[in-house]
Amino acid sequence: MASVKEDKDRFEIKVNGRDRTVTEKKQSYRDIARLAYSDANFDQFLYTITFFKGENGKEGDLVEGEKINVKDGMIFNVRRSDKS
């Protein structure tokens, strides 16, 4: 019996405790930061992003330049701090 891979067009995730819906499975560090802070400014602020409940139970940090595959129920915590 062959397994059928489901292609989803919406993923329900949590960012800083708020429900968010994204339409792309692959999300970048900047995408997630913008979900947490609509006024994200990457020249002025640093963003520390941690995630939980990723694919295969993965958890860790997401850093500038990285992308991650999201899944329903995944949790992101984003903190913003001055670069100075």
Class of domain 11-82: alpha beta
**Per-residue pLDDT, 3:** 44
Confidence of residue 68 (pLDDT cuts 50, 70, 90): very high
In our burial notation (b when 16+ CB lie closer than 10 A, e otherwise), range 27-37 reads bebbbbbbbbb
Predicted confidence (pLDDT) per residue in 11-56, tens digit: 999 999 999 999 999 999 999 999 999 999 999 999 999 999 998 9
d(CA 77, CA 48): 8
pTM score: 0.87
Q: Where are the alpha helices (DSSP H) in 1-84?
A: 29-36
Domain ranges in the chain are 11-82
